[in-house]
């Protein structure tokens, strides 16, 4: 009878660890998707700046 609370406590702890794992996976997924969005936006901005500033400069330099 004395081992019963220990087993229950162990199971509760195990369940808490399970929830922590799920939460950490979700947070990691959100962080990675946000990071990908930021990288995508930075690529877009760099491409736009390249097209607006660098290409006309190269064209005028060639001409």
pLDDT for residue 45: 94
Task: Judge whether residue 53 has pLDDT over 70.
Answer: yes
pLDDT for residue 18: 80
Reported as a pLDDT band with limits 50, 70 and 90, residue 37 is very high
Where do runs of H (alpha helix) occur along 1-63?
3-49, 55-62
Q: How far apart are CA 47 and CA 11, in angstroms?
A: 54
Q: What is the pTM of this model?
A: 0.48
pLDDT for residue 1: 47
Q: How far apart are CA 63 and CA 38, in angstroms?
A: 36
Q: Give me the residue label for tokens 């229950």.
A: 8
């Amino acid at each position: 009878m004395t081992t019963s609370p220990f087993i229950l406590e162990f199971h509760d702890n195990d369940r808490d660890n399970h929830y922590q794992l799920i939460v950490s996976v979700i947070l990691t997924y959100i962080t990675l998707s946000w990071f990908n969005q930021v990288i995508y936006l930075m690529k877009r901005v760099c491409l736009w700046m390249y097209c607006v500033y660098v290409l006309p400069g190269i064209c005028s330099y060639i001409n």
